Amino acid sequence: MTQTPPEPQLGRRTLLRGAAVVGAGAAVLGSVPASATTARATSGSAAALVRGDRPALTHGVQAGDVLTRQATLWSRADRPSRLVAEIARDRSFRRSVTVQGPVVTPDTDFTGRFTVRGLPSGADLFYRVRAVDLRDPRRSSAPETGHLRTASRRREDVRFLWSGDIAGQGWGVNPAYGGFRIVDAMARRRPDFFLCSGDNVYADGPLSETVTLPDGTLWRNVVTEEKTKVAETLAEFRGQFRYNLLADNWRRFLAETPQVTQWDDHEVTNNWYPGELLTDARYTEKRVDVLSARGRRAFHEYIPVAPISPDPDGRVYRVLHLGPLIDLFVLDMRTHKDPNTADKETLRDGGVLGAKQTRWLISELERSRATWKVIAADLPVGLVVPDGTEQEGIAQGDPGAPLGRELDIAPVLTALKRAGIRNHVWLTADVHYTAAHHYSPDRAAYQDFDPFWEFVSGPLNAGAFGPNALDATFGPRAEFVAAPPRANTSPAEGFQFFGEVEVDGDTAALTVTLRDVDGGALFSKTLVPHRR
């Protein structure tokens, strides 16, 4: 089992003084001769190790779920070792604090994540991680450096990006674009953090080395053994997450930009739901519950999600308090999904959120004192998303009273109205195009809610699709849509999208901008906060 030390505590004054603080059993590291580390390393168990050599970090560093005073750090080594981090206010690390992380072992595929508490709020911080030899603490890897900005306790400007759907439908890491084409444009926006709305990997999407594009040119994928078939074993699911980190620009972006991550379906298999038995001939393991357990484990090993969810079963719903302007509510709309049917059931059965998560969401929304409640959903509210002849999403195209999974959403919208919460915005991805939807009871069959906006953006490096039909139950209207001319348009042709949210620290106005593959602004909407 991985040895996990107590979570490190860093005081603001301690960090300013630059004192060397370590947990029990760790060492303050001195300089280490520079040596090349590679993001293309194989798994640690397969790496050829020379007796007496130094550990190496194989896939960069990441930070996640960064709050006002804490951050969760992540890295992966090539062998059993202890992760150690230094944190400073500048890249020179002249004044830094050293904290020890976990011992990483084959039990977690040599990955480790650890939450550092007591950070100064509203601060740009730099961290570097090394893997330290368990027998000789003088031997350590070359460091990998990252950056994060903690949320401010004051009313300060906030900027973050969101999107989803990474390396799907046959479009993988392409060296001609540095990995993923759209990422360079995202990096130029210099966000405080990035929200991934799901489909972090396509575990059900094998890749080929080349794909012929409509103009006759070739798209070239990096291909690993795990990406030549659908993921079924734990090792194959782990390989899906390692694969994305072969994209040089994606790895750099994650090192420079903290992430907030949720999941959807492709972390396991397309449109899955609990209890499903697959008929797909590509799978020898047909039980989705077995596959989802393995996919969930790999997700938690490779994504720096802080242990802040109130759910004891590994679900990822949680709220991030990001200062006085934003509370971010991250939903899990996959783990509780009922089977894909026509979705016209008339009795509420918790088919998308589940009763426990619904109660939690309403309670946390009512408790929130932040100006804006940003709700990160991994499925759009009003778009019809078919699954063959059945329905995968929340809506089903029936314009009348709520049916099926809509019965899970209606109580949340009504609770927001009754609590007087007008400043809520819904963000999602999933459908592989970008759009702005305005929902209003004046146009709706179900009218017990206040108007709100939903913004959709994606994919990041996957096939582009859409647009989808809107269901009139909650009165949506498409104010903007950008979609490809045909299904599964490649990233080479554009039609890749991300969204940007900016909150003005002085006025608290929230502006959403939908951006294209090169970062160009396609649509922008500024929302002025409602005052009670």
Which long-range contacts does 8-13 make (Cβ < 8 Å, 24+ apart)?
A: 8/99, 8/100, 8/114, 8/116, 8/117, 8/118, 9/117, 9/118, 10/87, 10/97, 10/99, 10/116, 10/117, 10/118, 10/119, 11/118, 12/118, 12/119, 12/120
- pLDDT reported for residue 29: 29
Tell me, what's the pLDDT at 35?
A: 30
- Is residue 120 within 8 Å of 152, Cβ to Cβ? no
d(CA 266, CA 274): 14
**Cα–Cα distance measured from residue 72 to residue 52, given in angstroms and rounded to the nearest whole number:** 31
Helix (H) or strand (E) holding 85: strand 81-88
Q: Which two tokens stand for residue 188?
A: 């130029």
What is the tens place of the pLDDT at every residue in 89-122? 999 999 999 999 999 999 999 999 999 999 999 9
- Judged on CB neighbours under 10 Å (0-12, 13-18, 19+), 178 is middle
Per-residue pLDDT of 269-311, as tens digits, reads 999 999 999 999 999 999 999 999 999 999 999 999 999 999 9
Query: 468-492 burial, b for 16+ CB within 10 Å, e for fewer?
Result: bebbbbbbbebebbbbbeeeebbbb
Q: How much is the pLDDT for 12?
A: 40
Q: Among residues 391, 269, 378, which one has the least CA distance to residue 316?
A: 378
> What is the full DSSP assignment across 327-389?
EEEE---STTPPP-S----SS---SSS-HHHHHHHHHHHHH--SSEEEEE-SS-SSBB-EETT
| Nearest residue to 407 (alpha-carbon basis) of 418, 396, 417 | 396
Specify the pLDDT at position 14: 47
Element (H, E) at 415: helix 406-418
Q: Tokens representing 521?
A: 């602004």
pLDDT reported for residue 15: 57
Amino acid sitting at position 296: R
pTM for this entry: 0.91
- Which of the residues in the chain have pLDDT under 70? 1-52, 532
pLDDT of residue 10: 53
Q: Which residue has the tokens 């003088």?
A: 138
Residues with Cβ within 8 Å of 135's Cβ and at least 6 positions away in sequence, in order, are none
Position 314 scores a pLDDT of: 81
pLDDT at position 312, please?
Answer: 85
Give the integer Cα–Cα distance in Å for 249 and 187.
Answer: 9
Provide the residue count of the chain: 532
What pLDDT does residue 43 have? 40
Residue 350: predicted pLDDT:
87
**How far is CA 22 from each of CA 29, 127, 180, rounded to the nearest angstrom?**
10, 14, 37
Vertex 356 angle, CA 351 and 362, to 5°: 100
